Chains A and B, each alone.
Chain A
């Protein structure tokens, strides 16, 4: 299948205050790929993710998601294909209970209640959070919040999963569970993170962004071993590679 692609062609984006967040950025991610996006703070990673489902529209250039060009007309369609998990789960979980939150997406797709219930149970089960369903989000721990945030996106069954710093604020065990969970997904995955060990475990390909442009794009095994490149981008070798 070739229709789960994400293609950015010469995309530039200017924030209203004149900050140039993306500069002539181009790449193509094909079906089933898992790609890590890394770069210094403020390199444009989050801005990039916000283009993937049309929250921000490119100032110039085109974004192509699964044969659809991103325009104001195709936005809703594209949002169904690309699920985005945000860095801060408190922003993602806005409904009063976990169940309602996970059901929010499927209900917006106009599904009936039995189908919604199945989806919600499936998604919560996947992140082993079924027993949390009646709790309000503010009673959850940080790790539980981020699993529920992932479930709320999975419930819509997107073709492509994009995540912004999925492991931020997680304790090592929750982080490990998250990594194992991500490995089981067969979606195309795009993960923006500073956690290079996580990217090494989950992704095959890695894109390095600096000041809004792609400076390197290649297999994880090449990029994450390139000490010079990483240090130029305010990064370090993954810890697991530093030991040997």
Chain B
């Protein structure tokens, strides 16, 4: 993938977050809290758990459907970061050779079980986090964090990151283009050119930071980022957060798959 494509790819997730669906309209605080609850619940399962994790896919799937987020987009992003999770779990089958039976007569090594459990947990958490960003505009996430009493310094760092990642990427894109235009198929890709580009980019960033700081000072900045209230929690938001919490609780402490399985068995017998 070229740099340009990467750039437009980041732009795409940003565009998604400005859609107008039920999920997008929810209060960002409600979504943030629901996401955090979800993450902690998924992580809290024991390392051999698989069956109990499956019902949790309901949440990302619902968000994706109602929020009209393309499945392939999230899927590709999850695949992109998956090597991390794979490397964490890949040695489990070798290190944990104990046998566990899953059906009558069929046994599997405990290591494989924990490996799949890691993969499941990874897929659940990463896709949910991505969906939060894809359904909530970044400024709103920052706002929610601020209203949930996260320190101002930390939140303003995040919002500056969001504001300037696009500017910085455009700057890089221009430099990379200028390099490609004049490298005539040689690609100019040797390490010396690369280090110089990184150096130039760093210096430009420092200079820009100085100009931004100047702009902030000239509008009365004295060390504290002001913030405005923008959201008012509605009943819908409370219902959303509460029902997510209730479902998480049920799926965590009751064997939902077993109950469902017995129910289906009962219907067919």
- By a beta-carbon cutoff of 8 Å, the part of chain B in contact with chain A is 14, 137-139, 142, 159-160, 162-164, 166-167, 208, 211-212, 214-222, 226-229
Which of A86, A88, A91, A107 is the one whose CB lies under 8 Å from B228? A107
Chain A residue numbers with a CB within 8 Å of B222 are 76, 108
In the complex formed, the residue of B with least CB distance to A138 is B166
Asked if A80 lies at the interface with its beta carbon under 8 angstroms from chain B, I say yes
B228 close to A113 (CB less than 8 A): yes
Chain B residue numbers with a CB within 8 Å of A103 are 226, 228
Q: How far is the CB of A149 from chain B (nearest CB, A)?
A: 9
Q: 23 interchain pairs (CB within 8 A)?
A: A55-B218, A79-B217, A79-B219, A79-B220, A82-B218, A84-B218, A91-B212, A91-B214, A94-B160, A94-B164, A94-B212, A95-B159, A96-B138, A96-B162, A97-B139, A99-B228, A108-B221, A109-B220, A113-B228, A113-B229, A136-B138, A137-B163, A152-B219
How distant is the Cα of A116 from the Cα of B221 in the complex, in angstroms?
Answer: 16
- By a beta-carbon cutoff of 8 Å, the part of chain A in contact with chain B is 50, 53, 55, 76, 79-80, 82-84, 86, 88, 90-97, 99-100, 103-105, 107-109, 113, 116, 136-138, 152-153, 156
**A83-B218 contact, Cβ under 8 Å, with A116-B228, A138-B166:** yes
How distant is the Cα of A104 from the Cα of B164 in the complex, in angstroms?
Answer: 17
How distant is the Cα of A55 from the Cα of B227 in the complex, in angstroms?
Answer: 25
Chain A residue numbers with a CB within 8 Å of B226 are 103-104, 107-108
Chain A residue numbers with a CB within 8 Å of B215 are 86, 91-92, 94
B166 close to A55 (CB less than 8 A): no
Chain B residue numbers with a CB within 8 Å of A95 are 159, 163
Q: How far is the CB of B46 from chain A (nearest CB, A)?
A: 40
How distant is the Cα of A113 from the Cα of B163 in the complex, in angstroms?
Answer: 23
How distant is the Cα of A192 from the Cα of B164 in the complex, in angstroms?
Answer: 26
Q: How far is the CB of A73 from chain B (nearest CB, A)?
A: 14
How distant is the Cα of A97 from the Cα of B18 in the complex, in angstroms?
Answer: 12
Which of A91, A96, A109, A156 is the one whose CB lies under 8 Å from B208? A91
A90 close to B159 (CB less than 8 A): no
How distant is the Cα of A117 from the Cα of B160 in the complex, in angstroms?
Answer: 23
In the complex formed, the residue of A with least CB distance to B138 is A96
**A138-B163 contact, Cβ under 8 Å, with A96-B142, A103-B226:** yes
A79 close to B211 (CB less than 8 A): no
Binding site secondary structure of chain B: helix
How distant is the Cα of A88 from the Cα of B210 in the complex, in angstroms?
Answer: 13
Which of A76, A88, A92, A96 is the one whose CB lies under 8 Å from B220? A76
Chain B residue numbers with a CB within 8 Å of A113 are 228-229
How distant is the Cα of A14 from the Cα of B91 in the complex, in angstroms?
Answer: 63
In the complex formed, the residue of B with least CB distance to A88 is B211
Q: How far is the CB of B204 from chain A (nearest CB, A)?
A: 12
Chain B residue numbers with a CB within 8 Å of A152 are 219
A156 close to B139 (CB less than 8 A): no
How distant is the Cα of A88 from the Cα of B167 in the complex, in angstroms?
Answer: 12
B218 close to A53 (CB less than 8 A): yes
How distant is the Cα of A136 from the Cα of B162 in the complex, in angstroms?
Answer: 10
Q: A83-B219, A108-B219, A153-B219 are in contact. List 10 more A-B contacts (CB 8 A).
A: A53-B218, A88-B211, A91-B215, A92-B215, A96-B142, A96-B163, A97-B139, A100-B228, A108-B220, A113-B229
**A86-B211 contact, Cβ under 8 Å, with A113-B229, A136-B139, A136-B163:** yes
Q: How far is the CB of A244 from chain B (nearest CB, A)?
A: 40
Q: How far is the CB of A226 from chain B (nearest CB, A)?
A: 33
A55 close to B217 (CB less than 8 A): yes
A138 close to B219 (CB less than 8 A): no
Chain B residue numbers with a CB within 8 Å of A108 are 219-222, 226
Chain B residue numbers with a CB within 8 Å of A80 are 220
**A90-B167 contact, Cβ under 8 Å, with A55-B217, A113-B228:** yes
How distant is the Cα of A97 from the Cα of B217 in the complex, in angstroms?
Answer: 19
A94 close to B216 (CB less than 8 A): yes
How distant is the Cα of A103 from the Cα of B214 in the complex, in angstroms?
Answer: 17
Chain A residue numbers with a CB within 8 Å of B139 are 96-97, 100, 136
Chain A residue numbers with a CB within 8 Å of B166 are 138
Chain A residue numbers with a CB within 8 Å of B219 are 79, 83, 104-105, 108, 152-153, 156
How distant is the Cα of A104 from the Cα of B222 in the complex, in angstroms?
Answer: 11
How distant is the Cα of A136 from the Cα of B15 in the complex, in angstroms?
Answer: 11
How distant is the Cα of A50 from the Cα of B215 in the complex, in angstroms?
Answer: 10
Chain B residue numbers with a CB within 8 Å of A107 are 226-228
How distant is the Cα of A138 from the Cα of B160 in the complex, in angstroms?
Answer: 12
User: Which of A95, A116, A152 gathers the greatest number of chain B CB atoms within 10 Å?
Assistant: A95
In the complex formed, the residue of B with least CB distance to A105 is B219
Chain B residue numbers with a CB within 8 Å of A84 are 218
